[in-house]
């Protein structure tokens, strides 16, 4: 994965935080020793390993198991707290880390108990789900993926890390990189969508951002937040899109599609991996020594630690592979799960298992060794209070530069889905604007699902954003209309009235944030409740007619703003509404970013990271499908299609409009023929052919035309988000390397096969220019087959 850096000028303006931080507290190791290990992650330093060895020698078995025990905090009026009896457990060395507890001052107190009142004085780790921000909330990951801008995503993660570490946190349970091809699955909002290449780019970007990159700023600095790639593996493949459900996959699809983003995080140096709740074909992840041993540690060389998902070890009992908690603990540890999150299985049962010889002590030791090394790498043995500076906490909480960057990230994630007759942008000098819809003033939803310590009252809704953008001279009226998901019609009349009175209408529809995320799968991804009725009523009023006319223009502009954490099936809205923007959940600055787009202060350039189906029954539908022997052909009955539905999606992967237009030409390959193992340069001219500046995401796909196995019709292998002024032409170049051409052959070797390839470059997955080249010579083997799945 090639790393792009955030433009230095913007970084300097928005990111004083890092240079202003105090220098790293001196460590026990001499600076010279650190320098000789240049570029080696502090997590794996020889000194850290020796240190862990020396501590391990002093530990009793119970103290060791304590290090593997992660305990959750409890909410209270004054913030999160340890549960009753927690301090006694810290003192007894029975807790190694906490989850969901933060606060520079509060965590300092707990750290003091651990390092002054416990026998071995081992510091604690504090972890939390900092998924898209801590107090300043950035767009949900699906929205950030829509930016197709990894440098921006890295930057958001970096700022989130600065804020979270200032609150005493060491560790986040992100990035979540589960590929999802089924938008019924609510957790699709937490990832980057359906594509392994885009998903891998986002995965690496987030790891670098949280952990502070692989340079001097990395792990060990007091603003580096340890990252966790999750949920390993293929959690997003849940059958029927039902959360926690079983996953049925071929090994080929697992390796081609689902595993790459986890591997990208490992290559980026991620500190932790989290197991997933699902089983794959009957093997629950928490019991899979193949996943954590063969794949993660042996094939990918991962040297960090593995944490269970919440209660995931004891869930081996309902999975039906363990009879009781004792057996579950043994299976978990044998599989390679080092830390037990909130389950108390290890602490309750591993001691007896070791003493009775059911499990070797060496397995416990190596898990503890990893935990100690991580604590050492953070510098906590030298100074346990490095993350407990209240002045720093004050300085970075909702820091102005964080809010600015959150707004910039939010704007980049917005996707313009439709804009008939240039309905958008709206004019600011309008007399009356109606903002209508159940989500228009929903602060909690604007923040998005994993809002960490985000406060709804510090969040701008669309209504607030519109008001702020137009100022007091414009009358802004608001009508809630129907609720999101009930059949209550009482608000429809007021919505109709507001629409009738206004000169321009912003209609905010979709799902609340709680309708996606964990345990929030939906069997139907159509607009919930009576929102379609509401849209019809508003459009009718806007057309000043009682009849529902089949035209998508209205005498007064109507812009639909969608808020949702998954693709929605909205064929009627897509047909009838003059303009639609997809805003997902954009965080603290949601409304400001939407207003920037509505009024043309920002020209949207995001693209869909996931296919939008026409109806729920079209799922699974994704762009990188295989061709089949009978690809869909409307002229031929006996081809792969539905009788009652076109085969195409409503909006394809990579799709998104702009207020300007882009014309692609001169697709050029550096060579018509290359040897397997060689690279190829692809270039294309992209002209901003409209009347304003804007961003375009130039997308590069390839297909191996004839291979030993059936390849996807196209696969994304590169993208660049470029900015250009009206009239400018930019030549965009990509390099296609052997890795981009490789496939898993029938023996599951990673190979480049000779033959012809098609290159596609364009503005979305279904709007491309094409060119061809040939790979000559013998099959090039890039990697031997992985061990067989078991
Ligand atoms: C989720 C994880 C999360 C953990 C801790 C679990 O229910 O699946 O994604 O990190 O809780 O909050």
pLDDT in tens, 67-119: 999 999 998 878 899 999 999 999 999 999 999 999 999 999 999 999 999 99
- Residue 2 is predicted with a pLDDT of 47
Ligand 1 contacts CB of residue 343 (under 6 A): no
Ligand 1 contacts CB of residue 389 (under 6 A): no
Relative to the CA of 228, which ligand 1 atom is closest?
10
Query: By three-state DSSP, how is residue 706 classified?
Result: coil
CA of 709 to the centre of ligand 1 (A): 37
Positions in the chain whose pLDDT score sits under 50: 1-2, 4-38, 215-216, 545-550
- Residue 331 to residue 322: CA distance in whole angstroms: 8
Q: Which residue, 742, 613, 655, 762, is CA-closest to 700? A: 762
- For 469-487, the DSSP string reads HH-TTSEEEEE--S-SSS-
- Residue 123 to residue 110: CA distance in whole angstroms: 9
CA of 310 to the centre of ligand 1 (A): 6
Instruction: Give nearest CA residue, ligand 1 atom 4.
Output: 310
Ligand 1 contacts CB of residue 311 (under 6 A): no
User: CA 291 → CA 200, 302, 390, 465, 592, distances in Å?
Assistant: 18, 12, 41, 46, 43
The three-state (H, E, C) secondary structure of 734-746, written as one string: EEECHHHHCEECC
Instruction: Give nearest CA residue, ligand 1 atom 11.
Output: 310
Q: Are 304 and 44 in contact (CB under 8 A)?
A: no
Q: Ligand 1 pocket: which of 101, 129, 342 to mutate (most atoms <8 Å of CB)? A: 129
Annotation marks residue 728 as catalytic: no
How many of the other CB atoms lie within 10 Å of CB of 681?
12
- Residue 328 to residue 112: CA distance in whole angstroms: 33
Instruction: Give nearest CA residue, ligand 1 atom 8.
Output: 309
Catalytic residue among 182, 309, 365, 552: 309
Ligand 1 contacts CB of residue 190 (under 6 A): no
pLDDT in tens, 385-443: 999 999 999 999 999 999 999 999 999 999 999 999 999 999 999 999 999 999 999 99
- Residue 712 to residue 635: CA distance in whole angstroms: 23
Q: Ligand 1 pocket: which of 306, 311, 518, 519 to mutate (most atoms <8 Å of CB)? A: 518
- Residue 13 is predicted with a pLDDT of 37
pTM: 0.94
Detail the DSSP E strand segments found in 111-218.
125-128, 171-172
- Residue 536 to residue 542: CA distance in whole angstroms: 10
Relative to the CA of 277, which ligand 1 atom is closest?
8
Region of 141 (left: φ > 0; alpha: ψ -120 to 50; beta: rest) is alpha
**First-residue to last-residue Cα distance in the chain:** 29
Ligand 1 contacts CB of residue 230 (under 6 A): yes
User: CA 52 → CA 117, 183, 269, 604, 769, distances in Å?
Assistant: 20, 44, 20, 51, 56
- Residue 8 is predicted with a pLDDT of 37
Q: Would you mind telling me the total number of residues written for the chain in this entry?
A: 790
Which residue has 């600055």 as its token pair? 589
């Amino acid at each position: 994965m090639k790393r792009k850096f955030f433009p230095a000028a913007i970084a300097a303006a928005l990111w004083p935080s890092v240079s202003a931080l105090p220098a790293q507290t001196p460590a026990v190791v001499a600076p010279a020793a650190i320098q000789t290990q240049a570029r080696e992650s502090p997590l794996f330093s020889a000194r850290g390993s020796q240190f862990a060895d020396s501590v391990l020698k002093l530990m009793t078995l119970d103290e060791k198991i304590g290090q593997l025990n992660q305990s959750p905090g409890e909410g209270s009026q004054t913030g999160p707290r340890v549960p009753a009896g927690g301090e006694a457990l810290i003192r007894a060395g029975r807790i190694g880390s906490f989850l969901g507890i933060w606060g520079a001052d509060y965590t300092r107190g707990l750290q003091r108990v651990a390092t002054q009142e416990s026998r071995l004085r081992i510091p604690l780790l504090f972890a939390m789900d900092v998924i898209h921000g801590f107090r300043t909330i950035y767009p949900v990951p699906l929205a950030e993926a829509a930016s197709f801008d990894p440098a921006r995503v890295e930057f958001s993660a970096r700022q989130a890390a600065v804020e979270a570490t200032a609150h005493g946190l060491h560790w986040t349970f992100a990035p979540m990189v589960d590929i999802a091809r089924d938008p019924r699955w609510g957790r699709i909002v937490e990832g980057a969508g359906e594509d392994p290449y885009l998903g891998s780019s986002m995965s690496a970007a987030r790891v670098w951002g949280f952990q502070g990159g692989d340079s001097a700023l990395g792990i060990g600095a007091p603003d580096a937040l340890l990252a966790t790639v999750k949920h390993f593996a293929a959690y997003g493949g849940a059958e029927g899109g039902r959360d926690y459900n079983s996953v049925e996959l071929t090994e080929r699809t697992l390796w081609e599609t689902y595993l790459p983003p986890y591997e990208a995080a490992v290559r980026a140096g991620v500190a932790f991996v989290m197991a997933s709740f699902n089983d794959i074909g009957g093997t629950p992840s928490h019991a899979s020594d193949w996943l954590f041993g063969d794949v993660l540690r042996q094939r990918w060389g991962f040297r960090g630690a593995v944490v269970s998902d919440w209660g995931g070890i004891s869930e081996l009992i309902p999975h039906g592979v363990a009879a009781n908690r004792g057996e579950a603990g043994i299976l978990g540890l044998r599989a390679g799960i080092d830390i037990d999150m909130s389950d108390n299985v290890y602490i309750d049962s591993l001691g007896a298992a070791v003493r009775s010889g059911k499990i070797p002590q060496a397995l416990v030791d190596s898990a503890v060794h990893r935990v100690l090394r991580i604590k050492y790498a953070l510098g906590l043995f030298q100074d346990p209070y490095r993350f407990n500076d209240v002045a720093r906490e004050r300085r970075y909480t909702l820091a102005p530069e964080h809010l600015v960057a959150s707004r910039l990230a939010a704007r980049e994630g917005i996707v313009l889905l439709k804009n008939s007759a240039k309905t958008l942008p709206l004019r600011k000098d309008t007399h009356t604007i109606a903002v209508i819809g159940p989500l228009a003033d929903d602060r909690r939803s604007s923040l998005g699902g994993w809002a960490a310590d985000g406060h709804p009252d510090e969040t701008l809704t669309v209504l607030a954003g519109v008001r702020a953008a137009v100022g007091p001279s414009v009358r802004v009226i608001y009508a809630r209309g129907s609720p999101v998901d009930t059949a209550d019609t009482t608000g429809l009349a007021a919505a109709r009235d507001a629409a009738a009175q206004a000169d321009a209408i912003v209609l905010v529809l979709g799902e609340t944030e709680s309708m996606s995320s964990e345990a929030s799968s939906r069997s139907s991804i159509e607009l919930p409740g009576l929102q379609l009725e509401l849209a019809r009523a508003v459009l009718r009023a806007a057309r000043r007619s009682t009849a529902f006319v089949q035209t998508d223009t209205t005498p007064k502009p109507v812009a639909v703003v969608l808020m949702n954490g998954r693709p929605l099936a909205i064929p009627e809205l897509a047909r009838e509404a003059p303009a639609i923007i997809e805003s997902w959940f954009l965080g603290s600055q949601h409304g400001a970013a939407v207003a920037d787009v509505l009024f043309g202060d920002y020209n949207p350039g995001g693209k869909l990271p996931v296919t939008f189906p026409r109806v729920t029954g079209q799922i699974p539908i994704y762009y990188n499908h295989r061709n089949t022997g009978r690809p869909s052909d409307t002229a031929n009955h006996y081809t792969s299609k539905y009788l009652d539905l076109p085969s195409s999606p409503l909006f394809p992967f990579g799709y998104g409009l702009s207020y300007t237009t882009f014309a692609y030409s001169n697709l050029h390959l550096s060579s018509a023929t290359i040897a397997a193992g060689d690279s190829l340069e692809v270039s294309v001219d992209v002209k901003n052919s409209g009347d304003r500046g804007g961003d375009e995401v130039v997308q590069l796909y390839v297909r191996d035309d004839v291979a030993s196995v059936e390849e996807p019709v196209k696969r994304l292998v590169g993208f660049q988000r470029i900015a250009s002024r009206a009239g400018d032409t930019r030549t965009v170049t990509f390099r296609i390397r052997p890795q981009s051409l490789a496939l898993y052959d029938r023996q599951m070797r990673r190979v480049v096969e000779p033959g012809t390839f098609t290159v596609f470059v364009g503005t979305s997955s279904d709007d491309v220019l094409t060119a061809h080249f040939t790979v000559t010579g013998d099959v090039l083997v890039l990697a031997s087959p992985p061990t067989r799945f078991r």
